[in-house]
Amino acid sequence: MNEINGATHRVVAMDDTSYMLETSPVDGSMRLVVRGNSEGFSGEHLGGALICAPSAENARTLQARLPWLKPQPLGARLSFGFGDRIGLATPGHIAALRAADPAGRIAPIFAQQSVRENERLQRTPAEVMVAAIWSVFAEDWRAPWGADADHVKEPAHVAPFVAAGYTFFTVDPSDHVDNAAQSDDLATLRAKCDMLPWNLLETNYAALHAAYCRRAIELDGLRLQFSEETLLRALAKYGRALAHTLTITATLRAAFGGAPFDLEMSVDETDTPTSVHEHYFIANELLQRGAPVVSLAPRFVGKFQKGVDYMGDLAVFEAELAQHVAVLRHFDRYKLSIHTGSDKFSIYPIIARHAGARVHVKTAGTSYLEALRIAALRDPALFRQILETGRTHYEHDKKTYYLDCRPENVPPAAALNDADLPALLDQFDARQLLHVTFGSILTMHGSALRSLLQAHPDDYCNALRQHFARHCAPFVHHADAFVQ
């Protein structure tokens, strides 16, 4: 450790070269100091060192020198996806893991952004990755970590994430899920199945009928009997989604050229729950074709909405989850992925008890909401502007989300005292309204919010540490619950 300009900085030495982040005495910005072999870095020579800006180019060079700065496939181990819409949350995520999981049971995903989020924020996959790399270096995180290209919907979405070094790809084929198949009659189901892209599925209906309907499938404590109707409904509902997932998987295989990567299939953003028969069908078909599936995100019963706890009957959820875990145990190849997974405190213990370490929890906007909490506490005037932007843009921005938010329950900023503002971050309607208007809010106020967080880094880090330690604790406690 070195003391520079009143701040303590960690020095990392490797191969006769040292690397250190310090605070610039001129403008307070962070800069990298390289002493020794500075080839590949861009900066200014000063006093026997190269002083480098925390740029993308310098991040890539540093990543090539220090292997722990590279994300890697994490496989089916217990993992947690930390979304960071602002680019400043990773230090708090690391602090939460160190507080709640000192033994390192949870594998984190620090660089995680969906195609939709990047479009709304006008960020690129590379920018998200670079922010994560600098934070991982600054916090000296040396355990394995991943990077998630979230909600990939088309083959064309793949290339920028591969080029940026992502290792985990969440395929979202929800546009190809036939929700009407949930209630179609048999004649309609047969007609729909006749029209499936069987060449992409690399099978035919007769082969599937023989595989699924001739005898019951015995799982661990569960017996699945596929009738013809059950099979037709699963096929009609998910057949095109499977074909689309296989197409994107082929694109990924070509892009990686034999190198490993993690694959997730997500069907959580659909109208109807995924039955246990449908879960088995999806998993079996993907694994039969050698897809490198490490996690599946079914559509569970109940409501998984942004920024708030689970809504639904906990007993029903647990009964359904137990059946999904029976399928999970049977294949023993992947984990259950919990999408819209932030703030679902009432069901974390249930999930952890049943699935143990075979879980991936995916969060996105809750780190951004904690940033807004800091604004409410530290800069009420800025938060008032943010609140009014959210109120103004909610009707437009909510269109891609399933929400129970009633915006009329969110008071205007003028009706609140400064002391009342932080409590909005704990109020159901306000949390949802602020959550889904992130694109508009960060487009208009992102620069001011980032400046505020950079001026109060300990506040933001501590808020995230407390918030995510609460998320992680149940999964750490039950990490050994999944017994083969």
List pLDDT tens digits, range 279-292.
Answer: 999 999 999 999 99
DSSP labels, 390-458: HHHHHHHHGGGS-----GGGS--GGGS-GGGGGGGGGSHHHHHHHHHTHHHHHHHHHHHHHHHHHHSHH
Averaged pLDDT score across all residues of the chain:
95
Q: Residue range 443-466: average pLDDT?
A: 97
Q: Is 347 helix (H, G, I), strand (E, B) or coil?
A: coil
Catalytic residue numbers, as ranges: 150, 264
Model pLDDT, residue 484? 46
What whole-number distance in Å separates Cα of residue 368 and Cα of residue 226?
A: 44
Mean pLDDT of the 263-270 span:
93
- What's the whole-number mean pLDDT along residues 301-327? 97
Distance between CA atoms of residues 135 and 390, nearest Å: 29
Q: Please check the confidence at residue 221 and state whether its pLDDT lies above 90.
A: no
Cα–Cα dist 133/342, whole Å: 23
Confidence at residue 23, expressed as pLDDT on a 0 to 100 scale: 81
Provide mean pLDDT across the span 394-419.
95
Task: Check residue 3 and give its pLDDT.
Answer: 33
Amino acid at position 266, single letter: S
482 pLDDT tier (thresholds 50, 70, 90)? low
Q: What is the pLDDT of residue 9?
A: 66
- How much is the pLDDT for 2? 37
Amino acid letter for position 162: V
Q: pLDDT for 413-427, tens place per residue?
A: 999 999 999 999 999
